[in-house]
């Protein structure tokens, strides 16, 4: 086998949870915002919370499930109105691939950066979750928007950076709150 996926069941669960959170976010929060800009970021992006928590718990073993979740939702965002253009528009397909990779690895990179700065961050606490959520939202916002800016002629990078950043942070906070409410037995969230 050329490509072996570590922790296949975990990746499959993360992939499906990512899709479900994206659908929930798209259904509930897209109605509350309006933007004339194409591909405008959600002001509350629930999958970011899954990105952070899954990566903190499972590390690099879960990156394939996150990547596939990003790839599928990215294809939905770009091609849901006209799926046939996928085969004629290689630039957008490449854009989806690049931004999916960036979004997948932003949390992993944030965890590595935080561990290099602070040896006390090895324990999963609310402080660690929030720091990683904010740092990864910043990395994701900057690099994804730079990629869009390079590929899309009319991309307005100024307000999109803030929308991506705040959407990831707010989505992460709401996701952690929901997880805490549904599962009181999560040890590292008990104090909060």
Enter the tokens of residue 21.
């959170």
Interval 83-109: pLDDT, tens: 666 666 677 778 888 888 888 888 888
pLDDT digits (tens, 9 = 90+) for 28-37: 766 665 555 4
- The closest of 117, 5, 4 to 66, measured between CA atoms, is 5
pLDDT digits (tens, 9 = 90+) for 130-163: 888 899 999 988 888 888 888 777 777 777 888 8
Which CATH topology does 8-29+39-189 take?
Arp2/3 complex 21 kDa subunit ARPC3 (1.10.1760)
More confident residue, 37 or 56: 56
Does 120 score more than 70 pLDDT? no
Residue reference for tokens 């952070």: 52
Gap between the Cα atoms of 51 and 32, Å rounded: 23
Rounded mean pLDDT of the chain?
A: 77
Question: 15: pLDDT confidence band, cut at 50, 70 and 90?
Answer: very high
Residue 164 confidence class, pLDDT cut points 50, 70, 90: confident
**Whose structure tokens read 């999560």?**
186
User: What is the model's pLDDT at position 192?
Assistant: 35
Q: Which of 73, 184, 52, 66 is nearest to 124 (CA)?
A: 52
Asked if residue 171 has pLDDT above 80, the reply is: yes
Q: Biggest alpha carbon distance in the chain?
A: 52
- For residues 14 and 66, is the Cβ–Cβ distance under 8 A? yes
Domain ranges for the chain? 8-29+39-189
- pLDDT for 123 equals 65
Range of lowest pLDDT (73-77, 125-129, 181-185): 181-185
Q: What are the b/e assignments for 119-156, b being 16+ CB within 10 Å? A: eebeebeeebbbbbbbbbbbbbbbbbbebbeeeeeebb
Between 17 and 148, whose confidence is greater? Answer: 17
């Amino acid at each position: 086998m050329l490509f072996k996926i570590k922790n296949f069941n975990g990746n499959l669960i993360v992939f499906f949870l990512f899709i479900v959170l994206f659908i929930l976010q798209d259904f509930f929060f897209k109605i509350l915002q309006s933007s004339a800009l194409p591909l405008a970021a959600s002001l509350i992006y629930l999958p970011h919370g899954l990105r952070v928590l899954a990566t903190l718990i499972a590390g690099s073993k879960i990156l394939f499930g996150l990547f596939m979740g990003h790839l599928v939702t990215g294809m939905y965002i770009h091609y849901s109105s006209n799926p046939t253009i996928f085969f004629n528009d290689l630039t957008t397909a490449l854009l989806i691939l690049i931004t999916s990779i960036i979004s997948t690895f932003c949390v992993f990179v944030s965890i590595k950066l935080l561990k290099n700065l602070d040896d006390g961050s090895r324990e999963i606490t609310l402080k660690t979750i929030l720091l990683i959520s904010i740092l990864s939202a910043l990395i994701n916002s900057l690099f994804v928007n730079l990629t869009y800016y390079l590929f899309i002629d009319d991309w307005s990078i100024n307000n999109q950076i803030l929308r991506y950043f705040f959407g990831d942070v707010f989505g992460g906070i709401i996701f952690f709150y929901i997880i805490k409410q549904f599962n009181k037995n999560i040890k590292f969230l008990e104090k909060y």
